[in-house]
């Protein structure tokens, strides 16, 4: 899912292409994309784009006369800038927004179409899409700490909760926690003052650093390689690969559409984490350290690790 750095770079690319331009036409290829009824699509056509902004992970296109188009790309939605009037791709295409200088195409990979478009009237209507998350880059340490401990959750859950923090998702939360040397399952209200400060600094450095990096990669072009898995990431999407800090293999807990990617020596004192279902199943067979994991691999004839995916664990081979 595109997160804060990705959405910021998308918006910057759009500003040079559609700001102060007239939206000539909206072409919808999927009946599931548009989630609102009023105003109709035709009301926005022919009017100028007057502002672009981010609302959490959403892109907000402000149009004359107090109209707004709110795009949420969800997991697999992507934007593409093509020549004016470009054809919408048959299999992945959802919509096209036509401007004098080109067409903005919206695509979504996969069969589950989750991306959404809402058309609304008036700035007050945007409040419906504001989950209330704190903008980390606009906050100070005190506000961050207060929001972090508002509820007692794991750090991973807290960072990715849009009601608590804005624009942070699965990928960058992994990177933030690795940078801060903190376990993804540590509870927020158990953080010491120094750990909270370390997490705050890591969040700001990670979000700013990746925004700069993605901006450089896009250069003057349109960001076409938006992905949650990037070669320069420390732990996210790097299961089994060496941690860039200590060299130990990155571990993960996978569940549904999300993962916890972490480095045991850097973040958990060398301890391997297991989800509740898998821990109950394997009990004493679950390896607690990287050394035990290595022994388990040899015992299993070279298997890389016990499956850490909820609902599909490998059975224990001990008798």
User: Distance (Å, rounded) from C-alpha 279 to C-alpha 178?
Assistant: 23
State pLDDT tens for residues 199-256.
Answer: 999 999 999 999 999 999 998 799 998 998 899 999 999 999 999 999 999 999 877 6
Topology (CATH level 3) of domain 136-218: Helicase, Ruva Protein; domain 3 (1.10.8)
Residue written as tokens 């480095």? 263
User: Distance (Å, rounded) from C-alpha 145 to C-alpha 203?
Assistant: 12
Give 289's pLDDT tier (boundaries 50, 70, 90).
low
Extents of the domains making up the chain: 4-129, 136-218
Give 282's pLDDT tier (boundaries 50, 70, 90).
very low
- The Cα-based distances of 244 to 230, 237, 248, 287 in angstroms read 14, 13, 8, 23
- Let me know: does 300 contact 292? Beta carbons within 8 Å: no
Q: Is the pTM of this model over 0.85?
A: yes
Architecture of domain 4-129: Alpha-Beta Barrel (3.20)
Query: By C-alpha distance, which of 116, 77, 117 is closest to 93?
Result: 77
For the sheet containing 116-121, what is the strand order?
22-23, 47-55, 58-63, 67-72, 116-121
Structure tokens at 92: 């992945």
């Amino acid at each position: 899912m595109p997160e804060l750095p990705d959405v910021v770079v998308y918006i910057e690319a759009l500003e040079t292409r559609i700001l102060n331009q007239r939206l000539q036409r909206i072409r919808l290829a999927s009946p599931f994309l548009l989630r609102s009824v009023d105003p109709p699509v035709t009301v926005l056509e022919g009017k100028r784009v007057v502002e672009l902004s981010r609302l959490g992970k959403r892109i907000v296109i402000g149009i004359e006369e107090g109209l707004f188009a709110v795009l949420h790309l969800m997991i697999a939605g992507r934007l593409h800038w093509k020549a004016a009037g470009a054809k919408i791709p048959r299999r992945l295409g959802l919509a096209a927004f036509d401007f004098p200088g080109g067409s903005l195409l919206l695509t979504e990979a996969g069969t589950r179409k989750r991306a959404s478009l809402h058309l609304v009237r008036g700035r007050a209507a945007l409040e419906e899409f504001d989950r209330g998350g704190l903008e980390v880059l606009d906050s100070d340490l005190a506000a961050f700490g207060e929001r972090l401990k508002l509820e007692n959750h794991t750090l991973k859950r807290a960072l990715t909760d849009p009601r608590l923090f804005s624009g942070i998702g699965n990928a960058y939360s992994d990177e933030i926690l690795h940078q801060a040397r903190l376990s993804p399952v540590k509870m927020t209200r158990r953080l010491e003052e120094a750990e909270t400060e370390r997490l705050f600094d890591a969040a700001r450095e990670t979000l700013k650093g990746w925004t700069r990096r993605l901006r450089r990669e896009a250069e003057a072009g349109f960001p076409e390689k938006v992905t949650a898995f990037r070669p320069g990431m420390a732990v996210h999407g790097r299961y089994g690969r060496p941690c860039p800090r200590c060299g130990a293999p990155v571990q993960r807990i996978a569940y549904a559409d999300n993962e916890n990617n972490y480095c045991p020596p850097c973040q958990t004192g060398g301890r391997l984490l297991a989800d509740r279902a898998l821990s109950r199943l394997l009990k004493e067979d679950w390896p607690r350290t990287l050394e035990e994991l290595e022994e388990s691999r040899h015992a299993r004839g070279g298997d890389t690790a016990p499956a850490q995916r909820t609902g599909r664990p490998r059975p224990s081979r001990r008798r």
